[in-house]
Structure 1
Amino acid sequence: MKQLFFLMGMLVVSAGVLAQERQRISFDEGWKFHLGDATDPHRDFNYTIGNILAKTGDAANTCIKMDFDDRDWTPVSLPHDWAVGLPFNHVHNGDVDAHGYHAVGALFPENSAGWYRKAFMVDRKDSGKRFVIQFDGIFRDSKVWVNNCYMGGHFSGYSGAAYDITDFLRYGGKNVIVVRVDASQYEGWFYEGAGIYRHTWLNEFDNTHFALNGGVYVHTASKGEDAEVTIETNIEGSGAETVSASILDRKGEMVAKGDGGATIALTVKKPVLWSLENPYLYRAVVLLHSGGRVIDSQTVRFGIRTVTVDKDKGLFLNGVPVKIQGVCCHQDHAGVGSALPDYLQYYRIGLLKEMGCNAYRTSHNAPTPELLDACDSLGMLVLDETRLLNSGAEYGADFEQQILRDRNHPSVFMWSIGNEEWVIQYSVTGKLIAQHQIDRQRRLDPSRTCTYAANVGNVWHGVNEVIPVRGFNYNLGGLDAYRKEHPDQPIMGTEVASTVSTRGIYIKDTVNAYVPDYDSVAPPWASTAEFWWRIAAERPWFMGGFAWTGFDYRGEPTPFQWPDINSHFGIMDMCGFPKTVYYYYQSWWTDKDMVHIAPNWNRTGKEEGKPVAVWVNTNAENVELFLNGKSLGKKEMPRNGHLEWMVPYTPGKLEAVAYKKGRKITAVEETTGEAYRIVVSSSSGGGVTVYNCAVVDKQGKEVPDAQNLLHFSVSGGARIIGVGNGDPSSHEADQYPEGGWQRHLFNGKCQVIVQSTGAAGPVVFTVTGEGLVAAQMKAGGGQ
């Protein structure tokens, strides 16, 4: 394989033993960044003043020029989201509100344009190859130059873009790539970030090669006890003679091989099927031959499974019925905004799996590829949604690119062609656009079907006339009537529930913009978790649905606005800390023994004797509640429901004792003392560690309402890249580029994300707080 190393700020690519085969080289390191200005050319390196379009290679004395001095620019690694580090600005504007009050967008031109530069080298030995720079996602409206020459631009913040830079390279010498990003125009109504917030790659391949996007398509079909694996290839260039393919199992052992033309059909004997419980992945190694040598190769991970949709019985995976226990999610996370390290995708999907979730809707845009990798590996179905219902040239091309990119992923079980297009979804125009997009999907991926997320209730006209699977966004009161009128159309809940709650807050607080942490409050257009899930569970023809949302996200503050800066819709907060509704879903979406009490049992002295609403979630048959050893009554658990008691507050021990199939299950909430010592837990992978911080009292009991200010540092080969605490009204910084990292606990918890720098030396993470015993954790474990 090729080796990469940095020399004097430039990426050097040296030839390797497999120079004849494709190379996909990470291009994330070694960038420089500087803010520009979306409206003032003088503050935007004279962009638009000098004519950079008159002659190829004439950069008109701007930062586009190769010899521009960028030594005072900020070094950054990709993915990079500059918006998450911007201050909050309380202005009265609907779009600013919806995007979480960060000072980015057209009202803040000084923060809404950014420039990236990177110097790199390509070995002279590779001068006969083709080089394509690939951006997985830039928000938004990007322009790209290489060596003073304009490569092209891309408007979308969610679909990737690629540019063949072969003709413009200087082999054996310095090359400079420059990217201008303009995030002035929002694309959605939620936090979207700004910058090159997904990975970037340098692709090198022969002049005859598999197409960069959609070059190898692997799809499967059952064949009795065996599976037929069809490999279709799309070859660009000329001179290739044959294609060969091998299929390897998880151990790397070959289970099938063959060769032929552009399409090869192979048989895998008695395959291990990809499923939610056992997400088994095979690899297809596909080689392109010419003149007796390999000139290109692609390795594709894929799963062997069947997905069928039945109008009367719902969804089937490998012939087994599956009720969709899904969530919708936006793509940002506490501390890092939209620029998530790969491991955070796995971390988030793991939290959802633990809850019992089995499906994920990419609301409302093409996801980052690493999310789909995580879903493939961990066993999570994906409803893959495009940004906009639009069959025009640009959005139509985006949808095609999304299908070509994502169709090899076994986790993707269905496509969504759009969401709540209230202007056109009732109309003939909407119907015609939908037909075009449906035809496009069937042509590029006949192995799957599609839906559309419609917030129209029992309405047939427009998009719903032609969509293969009817998607319901809320309006479940019209579900049965629609089913009766259209019994031949399968139905799923594309967006349901929308409970609003704030982790660890149990009263309505309009000053701080908090909502009680029960499954009790929902906007007028939505419902609680319990309301929708009862409907789904009782109707076999209803495939299930996707709750809004798995996690809180920046922007779209509901039901309050400022000081609220993010949504309250999450089943978990922005850090992934569970709210009470998490345990409702876990009780009915899993069979694990569980019981959970809400609220915590810390109160002020003024509240003693006042009634407290106590909720218990469990999948046991019955629950008896005890306060300081005294029974408060035993209740039977209603199917798909929860239990409630009104309990006069007395400090001490609140205990729920439940019985499930004869087994005793208990949960306890106790009054604690003051915070005494910091405790840290961690989860890590791929060079990233998520540290979750809490405090305990002198008896070792976690203090659930603690709000202490904590300070963080890391030594060794790692750096902190973001902090958060799940507080939807916090205006603390998510990032501290100059150091001095800190964050208040919010109801007992906060989170720190640490990333490896690759430097040598043991990594030690330290947390301190005034009056608290500090905590230290070495990489890989122990405090």
Structure 2
Amino acid sequence: MKIVYFKRIILYGIFLISCMAFAQNKSERELVLIDKDWRFSFGHLYDTEKDFGHATGYFSYLTKTGFGDGPAAKDFDDRAWRRLNLPHDWAVEQGFSESGSFSHGFKTSGKGFPDKSIGWYRKKINIPETDNGKIISLKFDGVFRNSKVFFNGYYLGTEESGYNGFEYDISAYVNYGGENTIVVRADASMEEGWFYEGAGIYRHVYLQKTNPIHVAANGTYVTAEIKNKKAEVRAEITIENKGNYKGSIEVIQTIFDVSDKQITSVSENIDAPKFYKTAHYTSVLEVDKPLLWDIDSPNLYRLVTQLKQDGKIIDHYETPFGIRTIKFDPENGFFLNGKSLKLKGTNNHQDHAGIGTALPDEMQYYRIKKLKEMGSNAYRCSHHPPTPELLKACDELGMLVIDETRLMGINDYHLNDLKRMMERDRNHPSIICWSVGNEEWNIEGNIVGERVTNVMQDFAKSTDSTRPVTVGISSGFKSGISSVVEIMGYNYLGNGDIDAHRNQFKNQPGMGTEEGSTFATRGIYFTDDVKHYQSAYDRKPRPSFYSIEEGWKFYAERPYLAGMFIWTGFDYRGEPTPYGWPSVTSYFGMMDVCGFPKDNVFYLKSWWGTQPVLHIMPHWNWSGMEGREIDVWVYSNCDEVELFLNKKSLGKKKMELNSHLEWKVNYTPGTLEAIGYQNGKKVLIETQKTTGKPENIKLSLDKENPSKGNVSVITVEVTDKNGLHVPTADDEITFSIKGGKILGVGNGDPASLEKDQFIDAVSLIQIKNFQEQKRTVVALPNELQNYPENDWKTAFKDRDYKNQAPSYIYRGEFDLKDNQSSDIVNFFYKKIGVETAVFINGKKVKPSAGDSQKYILDSNILKQGINTIYIAATPLQKIKDWDVMNTDPGIIQVITPDEPWKRKLFNGYAQIIIQKEETADEIVLSASAKGLRAGSLKR
């Protein structure tokens, strides 16, 4: 669980200290967000030269401590690397290729693209001398994947999975009072899932500072038992001692409500753990008349754990939690706080249009709000541990969660991952079930599956005894895992006889962990296999599967089933079934990758929600199809609906529970109108009108946008002269922004190969054929001379550092293959001399004002193709015989500006995600297109 600390210091160049409700001192815990100002560059999967020579030294990082080489070295020159902020997904920035991975959306990243499968990240931070004596840690919420982390050249460790959070103690390696270097190498060449997973540091990174005696990582476990209108709260904590203190400490546990009012508090003196040991301590606190956490009133409490030593607070750790009861009953389904509740859930992966997996925190709230608006009350993390911010959003918005580990197994790799997930997440009241596997076809129906499930279930109970365990099963529901799992997870009605399994295992609760798997393209009403578009009408995707309506009816009619989780809430990148290239996203979602609703959303709102619903499909723009019969469907929870075409009634029909209504209508331009009746009275009117041609660009802040934060989701559309949305518009819209930046664009088109992001390309070009000649004078030339061609020799080869020339002239080449006049070309010089003069194609260039070792190269002196660089320098001298002298003259950086941000509308809509600059008063987004009136939005 990501703890929201009472004292939080955010590092954005300076420390911003939060307001605090009671006295603190410098020994307390600090959590520093270090997402800003990283350097990034691609390495290479197997070419060590392109991977900056990493792990090629005589002593590598695995041979001797502190021998990180290449970019892992503390003083590696990364000035030419791209500057960016986290979270970052480099895969979403890439283009598409038919040779890319089907499951990962055909992006040109991963094992088939070795030059885009390794990413290096570097960041420099200052840690004051006053922190000496504290425990300093680096905390990563997740890096995809197989990350290696270095600090000041010291190797800290490797985390294989891209979904696990991890932490490294760096206290011994810190340069206190000076500069420190963090380095991460991510290897995304191997896939963990069969869905888009992104690449890089796509979750948050923190610097944590604690007293040697502190609450351990994820070291609290809060449970509550309700008795006689009171809640008995048990707060178990794990205390760690990384120091030599051997006396007693005071443990103070205090509960606050959502308004920061103190509810209750207890304290006790205990012996501190021994050196590098842990101790467990439990407090029991009582909450009178607790406000229960539920989906409509997600009431949260806050446990504050303080440790005192000699009367001074040395640690302060906060744990949000909720008080609620859950129960899965084999006869009557799921109960929350003693009340029956049907689970109306969706499965979801973690990517979003335009930004891939690098979601700002605000986007987690945006997506959960979208699902809540649809009537959903439950979310299955498919198929891996989520980012902590997702669970925080579910806690605060009232969304139930199935939390799922990545892989089944009984060894340390599997069980340790499960334990880490559960210890991190078990204080979230939103979580109602742990999932230890999904569709493990090789073991689902045999004795191996039984054994593995029994071990993982019992292991899970040892970490959290308050929640049940499930597995999503798709191969028959007859034996193996199905016979022993605590909560049966049915994946798809067509995969087995659910009623028969229930009759055999009547004491086993069950739920549909995956149902639907239907195909639909937003705004498309006639399947077009050539364009890879599937009709949005809810029909069976294939004979053995069921429509959304068929699935919901099945689960709604069976009290013994706790509910169902649809595959999926949102479309996602990859798995473009039933098609392949050039489709790049799935078709399964109730919403597209942007969160724009497909028509199925309105079916679910009708029967999952609590508000009156009336929705007509399709739109009524069918030029050229006059007289053709069109299927008109109405989704509603009204008793009756009457349909009109141009004021003429087409009949009134009664709505059956969990159903929809259909009419056959010959197309005539005009207005379709539906009137909904409740108890014989008109309660709702809905229309679909034939529109005019597109004329105006309209930008609007999405109504489900978070109310706070710097990130905004903007809906882009066009309207006709009467202000009506044009549902068939496909105009290309170009964007510009002031006071902020654009994070990504999308439109929900599953076959779109348009860019998700428009980012200036940064290329690094090595200087080749680097040669030298000796000079007899110290003074450096202002103009190049004619140097004898036969006197050139390989630079630095067999250099006698005890007998060097007064100065040297060096010559090398760099190739600007596709140099454009708009390119920005810089030479980042790496010091090979005391005094230096640089010449490009015979012209002397001066260093830039801000960096004496950076040269900005004017386009007038550059050539297309091979360019020549000369460097005149007085030599560096060895101080000690074992000093390693730099022989690399530097790197050429080419910045190629990208096109303006743009995106085509798809069936009338596009989406753009923007972020306001911290210092800006407002953000202004402008949009233009050929033949349309421009639009703008201020935020």
Q: Which TM-score band applies after superposition, normalised by the shorter structure?
A: over 0.9
Which residue in the other structure is 1:640 paired with?
Answer: 658
Which residue in the other structure is 1:296 paired with?
Answer: 315
Residue aligned with 1:714, SS: strand
Deviates more, 1:219-228 or 1:17-26: 17-26
Superimposed CA distance per residue, residues 639-663 of structure 1 (whole angstroms, 9 cap, x where no aligned partner): 1111111111000000111112334
Q: Distance in 1 between matches of 2:325 and 2:615?
A: 36
Superimposed CA distance per residue, residues 289-346 of structure 1 (whole angstroms, 9 cap, x where no aligned partner): 2221211111111111000111101100000000000000000000000000001110
Query: Aligned partner of 2:901: which letter?
Result: W
Change (3 A) 1:769 1:657: same
Query: Aligned partner of 1:632: which letter?
Result: L
Say whether the 8 Å CA contact 2:68–2:150 is kept in structure 1.
no
Q: Distance in 2 between matches of 1:636 and 1:761?
A: 54
Aligned ranges for residues 202-217 of structure 1 at < 5 Å?
Answer: 202-213=207-218, 215-217=219-221
Q: Distance in 1 between matches of 2:25 and 2:365?
A: 31
Which residue in the other structure is 1:29 paired with?
Answer: 36
Q: Distance in 2 between matches of 1:722 and 1:247?
A: 41
Q: Distance in 2 between matches of 1:492 and 1:564?
A: 32
Q: Distance in 1 between matches of 2:653 and 2:489?
A: 37
Say whether the 8 Å CA contact 1:501–1:521 is kept in structure 2.
no
Kindly state the Cα deviation for residue 458 of structure 1 after the two structures are TM-superposed.
3.1
Q: Distance in 2 between matches of 1:344 and 1:674?
A: 33
Which residue in the other structure is 1:39 paired with?
Answer: 46
- 545, 554, 560: which one pairs with 2:564? 545
Which residue in the other structure is 2:785 paired with?
Answer: none
Say whether the 8 Å CA contact 2:344–2:376 is kept in structure 1.
yes
Residue aligned with 1:530, SS: helix
Query: Aligned partner of 2:34: which letter?
Result: F
Query: Structure 2-normalised TM-score?
Result: 0.80
Which residue in the other structure is 1:729 paired with?
Answer: 751
Residue aligned with 2:643, SS: strand
Say whether the 8 Å CA contact 1:140–1:181 is kept in structure 2.
yes
Say whether the 8 Å CA contact 1:498–1:523 is kept in structure 2.
no
Aligned ranges for residues 442-461 of structure 1 at < 5 Å?
Answer: 442-459=461-478, 461=479
Point out 4+ residue stretches in structure 1 off by more than 4 angstroms: 1-7, 11-17
Which residue in the other structure is 1:64 paired with?
Answer: 72
Q: Distance in 2 between matches of 1:531 and 1:106?
A: 40
Kindly state the Cα deviation for residue 98 of structure 1 after the two structures are TM-superposed.
1.2
Say whether the 8 Å CA contact 2:25–2:313 is kept in structure 1.
no
Which residue in the other structure is 2:525 paired with?
Answer: 506
Change (3 A) 1:13 1:672: closer
Say whether the 8 Å CA contact 1:457–1:472 is kept in structure 2.
no
Superimposed CA distance per residue, residues 19-66 of structure 1 (whole angstroms, 9 cap, x where no aligned partner): 221111101112100011112111111124334122211234x11111
Matched, 1:224 2:238: no
Residue aligned with 1:441, SS: helix
- 258, 265, 271: which one pairs with 2:284? 265
Kindly state the Cα deviation for residue 427 of structure 1 after the two structures are TM-superposed.
2.1
Query: Aligned partner of 2:672: which letter?
Result: L
Matched, 1:774 2:934: yes
Superimposed CA distance per residue, residues 162-218 of structure 1 (whole angstroms, 9 cap, x where no aligned partner): 1111110000111001100000000000000000000111111011111112x1111
Say whether the 8 Å CA contact 1:129–1:207 is kept in structure 2.
yes
Change (3 A) 1:256 1:699: same
Aligned ranges for residues 147-158 of structure 1 at < 5 Å?
Answer: 147-158=152-163
Query: Aligned partner of 1:186: which letter?
Result: E
Kindly state the Cα deviation for residue 14 of structure 1 after the two structures are TM-superposed.
9.8
Which residue in the other structure is 2:601 paired with?
Answer: 582
Kindly state the Cα deviation for residue 756 of structure 1 after the two structures are TM-superposed.
2.6
Which residue in the other structure is 2:483 paired with?
Answer: 465
Q: Distance in 2 between matches of 1:336 and 1:309?
A: 37
- 178, 196, 200: which one pairs with 1:191? 196
Superimposed CA distance per residue, residues 617-650 of structure 1 (whole angstroms, 9 cap, x where no aligned partner): 0000111110000111111111111111111100
Q: Distance in 2 between matches of 1:658 and 1:228?
A: 49
Kindly state the Cα deviation for residue 17 of structure 1 after the two structures are TM-superposed.
5.6
- 896, 901, 923: which one pairs with 1:741? 901
Matched, 1:127 2:146: no
Deviates more, 1:173-182 or 1:420-429: 420-429
Residue aligned with 1:689, SS: strand
Residue aligned with 1:503, SS: coil
Residue aligned with 1:251, SS: coil
Which residue in the other structure is 2:629 paired with?
Answer: 611
Q: Distance in 2 between matches of 1:542 and 1:6?
A: 50
Q: Which has the larger radius of gyration?
A: 2
Query: Aligned partner of 2:641: which letter?
Result: V
Residue aligned with 1:463, SS: helix
Q: Distance in 1 between matches of 2:300 and 2:11?
A: 32
- 477, 493, 512: which one pairs with 1:475? 493
Say whether the 8 Å CA contact 1:274–1:303 is kept in structure 2.
yes
Which residue in the other structure is 1:659 paired with?
Answer: 677
Deviates more, 1:110-119 or 1:252-261: 252-261
Q: Distance in 2 between matches of 1:622 and 1:179?
A: 61
Say whether the 8 Å CA contact 1:13–1:121 is kept in structure 2.
no
Residue aligned with 1:345, SS: helix
Residue aligned with 1:743, SS: strand
Q: Distance in 2 between matches of 1:47 and 1:396?
A: 32
Q: Distance in 2 between matches of 1:751 and 1:731?
A: 15
- 387, 397, 414: which one pairs with 2:416? 397
Say whether the 8 Å CA contact 2:37–2:83 is kept in structure 1.
yes
Identity of aligned residues (%): 45
Aligned ranges for residues 694-733 of structure 1 at < 5 Å?
Answer: 694-716=717-739, 718-733=740-755
- 405, 412, 415: which one pairs with 2:434? 415
Residue aligned with 2:77, SS: coil
Say whether the 8 Å CA contact 2:626–2:666 is kept in structure 1.
yes
Kindly state the Cα deviation for residue 389 of structure 1 after the two structures are TM-superposed.
1.1
Which residue in the other structure is 1:342 paired with?
Answer: 361
Q: Distance in 2 between matches of 1:670 and 1:231?
A: 59
Q: Distance in 1 between matches of 2:350 and 2:358?
A: 9
Change (3 A) 1:755 1:258: same
Q: Distance in 1 between matches of 2:467 and 2:398?
A: 18
What RMSD over aligned residues (CA atoms) do the two structures have, in Å?
1.6
Q: Distance in 1 between matches of 2:453 and 2:480?
A: 9
Where does the alignment leave 5 or more consecutive residues of structure 2 unmatched?
1-6, 271-280, 761-897
Deviates more, 1:386-395 or 1:612-621: 386-395
Q: Distance in 2 between matches of 1:327 and 1:484?
A: 26
Change (3 A) 1:462 1:4: closer
Query: Aligned partner of 2:153: which letter?
Result: N
Kindly state the Cα deviation for residue 2 of structure 1 after the two structures are TM-superposed.
6.8
Query: Structure 1-normalised TM-score?
Result: 0.96
Kindly state the Cα deviation for residue 507 of structure 1 after the two structures are TM-superposed.
0.7
Deviates more, 1:590-599 or 1:475-484: 475-484
Which residue in the other structure is 2:647 paired with?
Answer: 629
Where does the alignment leave 5 or more consecutive residues of structure 1 unmatched?
none
Q: Distance in 1 between matches of 2:8 and 2:433?
A: 37
Change (3 A) 1:258 1:17: closer
Query: Aligned partner of 2:924: which letter?
Result: V
Kindly state the Cα deviation for residue 357 of structure 1 after the two structures are TM-superposed.
0.1
Q: Distance in 1 between matches of 2:177 and 2:331?
A: 64
Say whether the 8 Å CA contact 2:11–2:33 is kept in structure 1.
no
Which residue in the other structure is 1:245 paired with?
Answer: 253
Change (3 A) 1:73 1:478: same
Q: Distance in 1 between matches of 2:323 and 2:748?
A: 39
Residue aligned with 2:71, SS: coil
Aligned length: 768
Residue aligned with 2:112, SS: coil
- 557, 569, 579: which one pairs with 2:588? 569
Query: Aligned partner of 1:440: which letter?
Result: F
